[in-house]
Amino acid sequence: MKTAEEYVESLRKLNLVVYMFGEKVDNVVDHPIIRPSMNAVAKTYELAGRPEFEDIMTVTSHRTGKKVNRFTHIHQSVDDLVKKTKMGRMLGSQTGCCFQRCVGMDAMNALSMTTFDMDAKLGTEYNQRFLKFLDYVQAEDLTCDGAMTDPKGDRGLPPHQQKDPDLFLRIVEDREDGIVVRGAKAHQTGAVNSHEVIVMPTISMREADKDYAVSFAVPADAEGISYIMGRQSCDLRKMEGGNMDQGNLFFGGHEALVIFDDVFVPRERIFMCREYEFAGQLVEQFASYHRQSYACKAGVGDVLIGATQTVAEYNGAAKASHVKDKIIEMNHLNETLYCGSIACASEGHKEPSGTYLVNTLLANVCKQNVTRFPYDIARLAQDVAGGLMVTLPSEKDFLSPTIGKWMEKYYKGNETISTENRMRILRLIENLTLGTAAVGYLTESMHGAGSPQAQRIMISRQVNMKEKQRVAKKLCGIKEESDEK
């Protein structure tokens, strides 16, 4: 397995084409806006090498019998699913942000099942191709970007009816040795911190959309791939020097629009090629895994709750009964998020491929809670923190020889706590609820792994309503025609 240092050096060897603020980024690894997100991924490598985290961060590969990073593993038991949840929460609490490797892990697990089922029905060889790719990922301990979300264009139209056919990624050319694809993938978390890009369709497909039913893996620096970095609130603070105004000094996240401008995909790297009837299965299995993955929000919630308790003490308000009650509510909501992820993992089952899949109903319930509770937790954190969280002057004012004395004097809280430390914890809460980390904690909680409505649709499909009605009618004496017969 790679060390954190080896991971960083492996990224330096990539020839990525990255744009930010309209200009090409020459040094992606050390760019002050990108580097904190890379540090978060590096943490997944660092902790895997530490004995105290070995059980949760590493696992024995069912392919080679060697120890591998859990992010490259295909789940072989319910215990694997449960440890995935525990790993997500632990890393969220260690970094206070998105650590970016979940999507690739979830994509590989979904592909391990869908490719197996495709081969069984169609006589294709996609599963063997995928397993060969998996062996490579495990051997090199790679970070993979799972690329599912297309720009979509007019949401009321299927892919083949879009005015611009490239608004969903598609096959534009067939060659004897592979295919050529064109399009884009949006909202790609950690894209420029990845070694490989695993592409999947974003919705169920019909025959008219078969050119869009495609899944494959290509190197992150493959010819024709460009990355356009997304903006985040307060992102320029990382370029201002100092560290007091950043909130989280070490870690962060990023999203990018990934352009596929006629990218060639070798035949051995293709995992789906126009088998439109399996697109929906791949999307749903991936989504179920990824909705489980939002245990990470409980980890980030741990950080926010800790910050809220700290600022209450720094403000001199920690003993107030209403403040205590609000922090209890934050913990209740946060543990409920964790319960959902643990539950869908514990109720997991073995698929024909041998891969273990979470309980998909409970995974959708888990993610539905995630679309709501982090917002309530953030609201309570802001309530306890007070308005100073958003009206603080800058670090440069605090350090100014002219006005710094007034900062020190008028922003003092609890007499036993330094003004600087009070400012630092307020900036962390700002970062988690309004700044760069809020993308990974709040907006990602809402839209990541599908919109809230997507989970509600899945819940309605998978709940056995007829059985609920049957037992209710039986208990109150309502007889059905089938009962009388």
Query: In whole angstroms, what is the distance from residue 321 CA to residue 178 CA?
Result: 66
Q: At what angle do helices 279-292 and 102-122 cross, to 10 degrees?
A: 150
Residue at 311: amino acid letter? V
Query: In whole angstroms, what is the distance from residue 29 CA to residue 437 CA?
Result: 19
Write the CB contacts of 475 (distance below 8 Å, at least 6 apart in sequence).
none
CA dihedral 162, 168, 174, 177 (to 10 degrees): 180
> Which residues are the active-site residues?
98, 102, 189, 255, 290, 294, 296, 444
